[in-house]
Each structure stands twice: as structure tokens, then as C-alpha cells.
Copies of this chain bind each other. A is one copy, B any other.
Amino acid sequence: MKPAACPLCQPAAPEQVLWQDARCRVILVDEPDYPAFCRVIWQAHVAEMSDLTHAEHQHLMRVVLAVERALRTHLRPDKINLASLGNQVPHLHWHVIARFQDDRHFPDSVWAPPRREHAATHPLPDKSAFCAEIARILA
């Protein structure tokens, strides 16, 4: 996939962006079952973690863990799920997902068939405070 055809090479809608710097951005994914589903996207078109330099992958994981920490503080989930897959869009990005025992797929992955139809969704109680928490951790 060439960058010109890559959806993650396009800028995110400004209202989706929770935090960003020159190297990566954190967005809130438009996912009805998981309204607090976050994605950390490397800005450059790179496929794998091991394509990054040591300093780059340290930075990316620092941002991923900041999002994990902020989700734990703001939502008190039963578990955090982290995943970097990229089979459909081979542009490095991390899914950071707060999981709850009453969510649509628990205890399966969010990519498995759903376990329940009418599931709790656990939105962020305060998106601005959540953004501020990520920025605070990364400051």
C-alpha cells in the first residue's frame, strides 16, 4: 500500500484527535460498541514496530501507555487490551481498548463474534478531562 492510498496517512478529523505531536497522534475511534476506543497512530507510513528506531518505538510505547493509564483512571475497566495488527492497513497503529465484563465481546477480543447484543458501552465521562490527563502524563 502506497501512502497516497493509505487512510492513516490522511489527517484525522480535528474533533477525533485527543493528543498529538510530530511523531504520533491519539484519536478516539468512532466505534459504537466501544465509544472510548483509542488508537495511537504513527504519523509516518511505516509498517512494523521493528521498522522504528529504538528512540521512536520507545516514544510510541510511552504514548500507548499514557493512553492506557488515562483509560484506567477515567473508566476503571476490567482489563486493557493493546494490539498492533495492521493487516488491512499496514501503517503502524495501536488499538488501546478499555474492556468490561459486560461489554459486547468480553472475555473475547473485540474482533471475535459478539457475545451479547445489548451490551454496556462505557463512554468517557469527560472527554476534555481525558485529553488533559493524557497531556499531563506525557508532559
Residues of A that sit less than 8 Å from B by CB: 47-50, 57-58, 61, 65, 68-69, 72, 78-88, 90, 99, 106-109, 111-113
* Nearest B residue to A61, CB-CB: B61
Contacts known (A111-B109, A111-B111); A81 close to B87, Cβ less than 8 A: yes
Q: A48-B68, A50-B69, A72-B50 are known contacts. Are A84 and B81 too (CB-CB below 8 A)?
A: yes
Tally of this chain's copies: 2
Chain B residues near A109 (CB, 8 Å)?
83, 85, 87, 109, 111
B82 engages A68 (CB within 8 Å) = no
Is the Cβ of A80 less than 8 Å from the Cβ of B48?
Answer: yes
Residues A50 and B79 in contact, CB atoms below 8 Å apart: no
List of B residues within 8 angstroms of A48 by Cβ: 68, 72, 79-80
7 contacts between A and B (CB under 8 A): A50-B69, A79-B85, A82-B85, A88-B107, A109-B111, A111-B111, A113-B113
